[in-house]
Amino acid sequence: MIKQLVSAIALTLGVPLLSLAAAPADDALVARGAYLAKAGDCVACHSAPKGKPFAGGLPMNTPMGRIYTTNITPDPETGIGKWTEEDFEKAVRQGVSKDGHNLYPAMPYPSYAKVRDDDVKALYAYFMKGVAPVNQANRPSDIPFPLNMRWPLKFWNMVFLDKGVYHDKDGHDVAWNRGAYLIQGLGHCSSCHTPRGIAFQEKALDESGSAWLTGGVLDGWFASNLTGEQNVGLGRWSDADLTQFLKTGANAHATAFGSMTDVINHSTQGMNDQDIAAMSAYLKSLPPAGGTHAPAYAYDPKATTALLAHPANDAGAKVYTAYCMHCHGVDGKAFAPLLAPLAGNPNLLEKDASSLINVTLNGTQDLVIQGIPAAYPMPKYAPVLSDQQIADVLTFIRAGWNNGAPAVAPSDVAKLRKSTQAAQ
């Protein structure tokens, strides 16, 4: 009786029975694609500040010049509305656009190459049917001729692009393989967290490479070491610590900064608990790599407390007491996770101080968890403190509480001040 009624309605409306049957499946595919797009953090790169979602226009700095992300809404004129699923797959996994031009590897297609066919299909369904079309022309790059020619990228792909999708690895359980798939593929964690070579290629694409996720400099930030390294990596973090960080952007050890803030805001906080647990399990399985090879960090506040009791005797201590101590405390532990700890923070112990200089100069974007902005974002001190003062206070912090990290030079602050101001 129900089938007859549905048939009658379909005939009356002129709707084929096939489309009625397929609609729930289509909706499910779109919903799955929406989740995968969140896992891939697509909106963060393909949306400009105050712009419409996925309409592109976000500036990205490369060693050759500035490029702008593209419109990936289903607008037929300026977006991808006329793209077939095959066109979409070529762009996502092979770095080749519909018209045949090669994409810059700032688009993390070396990671997306590992995304499986069924997930590509779901992503295509979402971008075609679940995203609002926006008519916004793509902006050409600022890279000058002849560096803006794309044909050399064909040879780059021949050398550095591994086109194989991810296959589960023997000897590991389902959760580990799921985590590896997300970290290596849609999560494209290595795009920031793996150092790059002279040709801007990632030095490793999975855990078989010694440089895998050992940290890397990108756009004025140092993306942290994600291996089991005991000082600058995740060696002192529990599974619960890592899960908390991926869900909220902060824990007892560190707080997100730079582009990781976008990852937390737009991606990982919206992922399900099973996938977050899988990602954590994979990352926590990685052996120590990279780092400074220093002895294991041990908290010792005595010397720092003494300096802060008489800050006039130390230039860095004077700046710290005036601008930092009210949030980060005499003990350097702050009020984590509300405020970032400084004692033993992996980013403080890292040899490369780029992130510390950048966050002191320019502050941080707000972490927005479940719609609520963080109560105490890091303010910018570029208008307030000189290069010498920032170098002094960071040198004090990096030596404080037994952190034992190298000093920061005023010239390093000046260089980053100039580059980040130019990028704004």
With a cut of 50, say whether residue 5 has pLDDT above it. Answer: no
Question: Per CATH, is 22-135 categorized as 2.30.30.220?
Answer: no
Question: What count of other Cβ atoms lies within 10 Å of the Cβ of residue 50?
Answer: 5
CA 141 – CA 214 distance, rounded (Å): 30
Residue 234 · residue 214 · CB < 8 Å: no
Give the residue ranges of the annotated binding site for heme c.
Answer: 42, 45-46, 189, 192-193, 324, 327-328
pLDDT tens digit string along 206-233? 999 999 999 999 889 999 999 999 999 9
Kindly indicate the confidence band of residue 424, based on its pLDDT and cuts at 50, 70 and 90.
Answer: low
**Token digits for 23?**
């609609």
Structure tokens at 301: 């506040």
Phi/psi for 375 (5° steps) reads -75, -30
Amino acid letter, residue 242: L
> pLDDT band at 8, cuts 50/70/90?
very low
Instruction: Calculate the alpha carbon distances from 251 to 225, 237, 254 in Å.
Output: 16, 9, 6
Instruction: Kindly provide the residue ranges of all beta strands, DSSP E only, lying in 28-169, ordered along the sequence.
Output: 59-62, 65-68
The pLDDT assigned to 147 comes to: 77
Under the banding of pLDDT at 50, 70 and 90, the label for residue 411 is very high
pLDDT in tens, 362-394: 999 999 999 999 989 999 999 999 999 999 999
pTM for the predicted model, two decimal places = 0.91
Separation of first and last alpha carbons in the chain? 65
Q: What is the DSSP string of 228-294?
A: S-TTTSSTT--HHHHHHHHHHSB-SS-B--THHHHHHHHTGGGS-HHHHHHHHHHHHHSPP-SS--P
Residue entry with tokens 């869900």: 247
Question: Higher model confidence: residue 4 or residue 236?
Answer: 236
Query: pLDDT, tens digit, for every residue of 137-184?
Result: 999 988 888 878 888 999 999 999 998 999 999 999 999 999 999 999
The CATH number, out of the four listed (1.10.760.10, 3.90.1150.10, 3.40.1160.10, 3.40.30.10), of the domain defined by the range 302-423: 1.10.760.10
Q: Cβ(168)–Cβ(176) under 8 Å?
A: no
Please write down the HEC assignment for all residues of 263-279.
HHHHCHHHCCHHHHHHH
pLDDT at 87 over 70: yes
Mean pLDDT of the chain: 92
Cis, bond preceding 59 (omega within 30 deg of 0): no
Q: Which two tokens stand for residue 242?
A: 């890592």
Tokens linked to 164: 């194989």
Compute the distance between CA of residue 413 and CA of residue 357 in angstroms, rounded to an integer: 6
| Mean pLDDT value of segment 76-100 | 97
Determine the distance from the C-alpha atom of residue 116 to the mean position of all C-alpha atoms in its chain, rounded to a whole number. 21
Confidence tier at 10 by pLDDT (50, 70, 90): very low
Query: At 392, phi and psi to the nearest 5?
Result: -65, -50
- How many Å apart are CA 188 and CA 214, to the nearest integer? 14
- Residue 133's identity, in one-letter code, is P
Asked if the domains 22-135 and 302-423 are classified in one and the same CATH topology, the answer is yes
Rounded-to-10 torsion of CA 56, 58, 62, 66: 90
pLDDT of residue 219: 87
Task: Answer yes or no: are the C-beta atoms of 392 and 315 closer than 8 Å.
Answer: yes
Q: Are 255 and 249 in contact (CB under 8 A)?
A: yes
Which of helix, strand or coil describes residue 60? strand
pLDDT at 16 over 80: no
**What pLDDT is stored for residue 2 in this prediction?**
41
Domain locations in the chain as residue ranges: 22-135, 302-423
The 10s digit of each residue's pLDDT in 313-343 is 899 999 999 999 999 999 999 999 999 999 9
Structure tokens at 13: 């409306």
Band (11; pLDDT cuts 50, 70, 90): very low
d(CA 213, CA 207): 8
| Distance from C-alpha of 371 to C-alpha of 351, rounded to nearest angstrom | 35
Is the distance from CB of 419 to CB of 220 less than 8 angstroms? yes
- Burial (CB count within 10 angstroms: exposed 0-12, middle 13-18, buried 19+), residue 73: buried
Judge whether 413 and 361 are in contact, CB under 8 Å: yes
What are 237-287's pLDDT values in tens digits? 999 999 999 999 999 999 999 999 999 999 999 999 999 999 999 999 999
Mean pLDDT score, 25-45? 95
Average pLDDT over residues 84-93: 98
Percent of the chain with pLDDT over 70: 93
Note whether 130 and 34 are within 8 A (CB): yes
Binding-site residues sit at 42, 45-46, 189, 192-193, 324, 327-328
Report pLDDT for 421: 86
For the record, the structure tokens of 349 come out as 């112990």
Check: CB of residue 269 under 8 Å from CB of residue 248. yes
Q: How far apart are CA 344 and CA 235, in angstroms?
A: 12
